[in-house]
Amino acid sequence: MSFNCLTDIDDNISPLSSLVVCSFANSVLKYFSFPDVRSKWEYDESHVITALRVKKKNNEYLLPESVDLECVKYCVVYDNNTSTLEVLLEDDDDDSDSDSAGKVSDVVPGAAIEYGRILTRLTRHPVYILKGGYERFSGTYHFLRTQKIIWMPQELDAFQPYPIEIVPGEVFLGNFSQACDPKIQKDLKIKAHVNVSMDTGPFFAGDADKLLHIRIEDSPEAQILPFLRHMCHFIGISRSCAAVIAYLMHCNEQTLQRSWAYVKKCKNNMCPNRGLVSQLLEWEKTILGDSVTNIMDPLY
C-alpha cells in the first residue's frame, strides 16, 4: 500500500502542499484528484479548486463522481486538519471497524486517512493526505479556494498557471509572463524579483533592493557563475532554474545533486543548458570545497 502524508519539506515528495500547488502551477489539473471528506456545509462554503466532495451511503464512503483513478496520477485527500498518519499506522495492525459506525454525515478526526485507505486499494498510484487539512492549506493559499462545483474542460484549459513554489511562501520559480502578472504578484505576496533574462519586467523597476536583473542569454555560452553569490544573498530569488538550484546549494550547504533533485520534483521539465550545469558544478566546489556531483550522468 502506497500512502503518504504531505509535509513542509520531505526528501521524497515536493515541498509542503506544493504538490497541490504544483497542479495549478503546471496546468495539469486533469492528472489530480482532490477528494474532500469534510461535511457538506463546509464543502459548500469553500473548497480547493476542482475538489469533489466525498459522500457516504449506509455509513460507507463512495467514490466521487466522474473520477477515473486510472487517469489520476496524484490523489490528494483532505479533511479539516489531519496532520499525522499515526492513526493509520495504528489501525494497520487492527482490522476492527469499530470506529466507523458514526452518522452518515459525520466527519470524524482522521476522515482523510480513513478514505485514503480505501483509495489505496483502487489505484496503483500513491495516495496523499494533505498535512494540516483544508484549514492550513486555505489559510496559506486563499486564492485557490472556490465555491464553484462544476468545471468545464475549457475552463481548466484556460486556467492561468502559478509559478512553481520552491521554498514554501518564500521562493517561487516562474516565467516572464508570470513575473508580469499583477494578480500573481498579489496572490503570492511577491516582494522581490530576480530576473535572469534579457527582458525587462514592469515590477520593482529602479528599486535595487527589490529587483536584481541579470542580463544573460539562454545559451551554453552564457556566464551565470559570476552572479551566483550576489543572487544567493538577494532576497526573493525567482525564475531561473539555475539560480534557484544555486540558491538551495548556498542556503543549505548541499550538493548540486541534492538541490537539482529537489527542484526537479517541483518542476519536472526543467533543463538548464550544459554551460549553466558546468557553472553550477563550479559553484558546488565554491560552497563545499570540492566537486561532488557527476554532471556526466544523463540526469544532467
pTM score above 0.85: no
C-alpha cell at 286: 565554491
Q: What is the pLDDT of residue 21?
A: 53
What does the buried/exposed string (b/e) look like for 197-209 if buried means 16 or more CB atoms within 10 Å of the residue's CB? Answer: beeebebbeeeee
Judge contact between 203 and 180, C-beta under 8 A. yes
Triad 112, 137, 3: Cα angle to 5°? 35
Q: What is the pLDDT of residue 166?
A: 79
| Band (1; pLDDT cuts 50, 70, 90) | very low
Mean pLDDT for the stretch of residues 210-228: 87
Question: Quick check: helix, strand or coil at residue 195?
Answer: strand
Whether the per-residue pLDDT at 100 is higher than 80: the answer is no
Highest mean pLDDT among 54-63, 99-108, 278-287: 278-287
C-alpha cell at 265: 520534483
